[in-house]
């Protein structure tokens, strides 16, 4: 293998008529083969670009689907050494990465996205592979392959293998359609694929909005960080995954109030933001400002509700329901929740104290909302204003 000239790899290929699927054999986390091996354990992996071709999924959305299957251990992103290049695949040299699926991933994808005829072809041709790999564990999210264990074959040998099929791919003689793509396949433009990465050439030809370019750069940087993440350093991954899922929903226009709540709470719980001092917490100040603005904007609605209540109870104004009932009927639940937690009255152990101190909470709500209901509130307000 010359250090100055990259080795051009021609992947073996299963030819199923309208669908052609290229594949490799994963030997270990750093090594691969392009030919089958009857000795030792190898795992066939199938090129994601071929699996998603001729489906309803647009090429620019392929990475999202690959990542979805990778989270389930059914797909993986393989980073090949710069010493390798690929026949029939336009892969940016700076990236040199391709998505591959396990046999389980191939079946899952086929039965989700292919028509019945294609599903039948997959079932008939790959069932023995699936049986042989039944006990294989899930794939890692990434592999870095730098060693090719088999020697590249000459075109004459390749053609000879094509005539008799490639034994060992399904570890039987059933799959006669699996073959090495020979040199003549490079002229097959249908097999040529502008592989979907963040530097997809079809995107580069378009005028990209600066913000979109920045977003893609940030996502690429995040991808690099995750790729080099030390083993065991997964403390923040759940939070990152949740936030990315909410971003995805936001981009699709399907983000709802619950999604926004989960995202905000995830960030609030990520660190102890107020450990230094509640007196100087920028976060609490901003949250307090936002809450105050929302509550102030609701004042007119609250006033209407209070006035309606007074008209209905004008004869019983001196015999009003208990404070808890009044607060629940006239003021937003969020206001009560804030004060209950603030006053330390939210636990079941404080039920008796909460019952006795609820009149104080009701007074605070009356004063803060400028809507006086109880006689005590009217007397106190007059006294305070006079002073």
Q: Is 267 left (phi over 0), alpha (psi -120 to 50) or beta?
A: alpha
What is the structure's pLDDT at 166? Answer: 37
Q: Report which of residues 199 and 338 the model is more confident about.
A: 338
Reading the block at residue 227, the tokens are: 């790729």
Q: Is 376 exposed, middle or buried (0-12, 13-18, 19+ CB in 10 A)?
A: middle
When pLDDT is cut at 50, 70 and 90, the band that residue 4 belongs to is low
354 pLDDT exceeds 60? yes
Q: Over the chain, what is the mean pLDDT? A: 81
In terms of pTM, does the model score above 0.85? Answer: no
Give Cβ neighbours of residue 364 (< 8 Å, ≥ 6 apart).
339
What is the structure's pLDDT at 332? Answer: 96
Question: How much helix, strand and coil, in percent to the nearest 5, is found in the chain?
Answer: 50, 15, 35
301 pLDDT exceeds 60? yes
96 pLDDT exceeds 70? yes
When pLDDT is cut at 50, 70 and 90, the band that residue 232 belongs to is low
199 pLDDT exceeds 50? no
How crowded is the C-beta side of 269, counted as CA atoms within 13 Å?
13
What is the structure's pLDDT at 207? Answer: 62
When pLDDT is cut at 50, 70 and 90, the band that residue 298 belongs to is very high
62 pLDDT exceeds 70? yes
Q: Alpha-carbon distance 152 to 165, whole Å? A: 17
Positive or negative, the Cα torsion across 80, 85, 88, 89? positive
CA end-to-end span of the chain? 93
Q: Report which of residues 18 and 240 the model is more confident about.
A: 240
Dihedral of the alpha carbons of 190, 196, 202, 205, in degrees to the nearest 10: -150
What is the structure's pLDDT at 195? Answer: 52
What is the structure's pLDDT at 184? Answer: 34
What is the structure's pLDDT at 151? Answer: 58
- List the single range of 100-114, 145-159, 175-189 with lowest mean pLDDT: 175-189
174 pLDDT exceeds 60? no
What is the structure's pLDDT at 225? Answer: 82
99 pLDDT exceeds 60? yes
Q: Alpha-carbon distance 311 to 137, whole Å? A: 70
Summarised one tens digit per residue, pLDDT across range 242-284 is 999 999 999 989 999 999 999 999 999 988 998 888 898 999 9
Q: Report which of residues 119 and 16 the model is more confident about.
A: 119
Reading the block at residue 365, the tokens are: 């709500």
Q: Which of 91-100, 164-173, 177-186 has the highest mean pLDDT?
A: 91-100
């Amino acid at each position: 293998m010359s250090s100055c000239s990259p080795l051009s790899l021609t992947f073996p290929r299963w030819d199923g008529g309208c669908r052609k699927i290229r594949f490799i054999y994963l030997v270990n986390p750093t090594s691969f083969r392009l030919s089958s091996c009857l000795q030792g354990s190898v795992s066939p992996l199938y090129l994601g670009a071929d699996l998603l071709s001729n489906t309803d999924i647009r090429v620019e959305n392929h990475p999202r689907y690959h990542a979805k299957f990778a989270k389930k251990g059914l797909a993986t992103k393989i980073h090949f050494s710069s010493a390798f290049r690929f026949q029939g695949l336009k892969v940016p040299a700076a990236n040199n990465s391709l998505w591959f699926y396990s046999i389980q991933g191939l079946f899952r994808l086929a039965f989700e996205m292919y028509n019945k005829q294609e599903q039948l072809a997959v079932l008939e041709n790959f069932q023995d592979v699936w049986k042989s790999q039944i006990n294989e564990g899930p794939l890692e999210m990434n592999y870095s392959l730098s060693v090719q264990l088999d020697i590249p074959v000459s075109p004459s040998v390749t053609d000879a293998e094509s005539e008799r099929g490639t034994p060992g791919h399904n570890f039987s003689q059933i799959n006669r359609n699996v073959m090495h793509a020979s040199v003549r396949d490079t002229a097959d433009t249908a097999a040529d694929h502008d592989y979907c990465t963040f530097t997809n050439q079809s995107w580069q030809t378009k005028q990209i909005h600066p913000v979109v370019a920045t977003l893609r750069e940030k996502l690429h940087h995040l991808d690099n960080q995750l790729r080099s993440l030390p083993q065991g350093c997964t403390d923040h991954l759940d939070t990152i995954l949740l936030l990315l899922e909410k971003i995805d929903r936001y981009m699709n226009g399907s983000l709802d109030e619950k999604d926004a709540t989960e995202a905000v709470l995830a960030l609030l719980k990520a660190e102890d933001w107020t450990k230094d001092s509640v007196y100087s917490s920028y976060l609490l100040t901003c949250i307090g400002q936002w809450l105050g603005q929302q509550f102030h904007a609701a004042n007119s609605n609250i006033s209407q509700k209070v006035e309606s209540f007074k008209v209905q109870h004008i004869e019983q104004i001196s015999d009003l329901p208990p404070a808890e009932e009044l607060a629940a009927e006239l003021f937003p639940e969020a206001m009560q929740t804030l004060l209950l937690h603030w006053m330390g009255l939210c636990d079941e152990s404080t039920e008796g104290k909460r019952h006795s101190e609820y009149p104080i909470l009701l007074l605070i709500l009356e004063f803060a909302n400028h809507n006086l209901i109880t006689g005590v509130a009217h007397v106190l307000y007059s006294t305070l204003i006079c002073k």
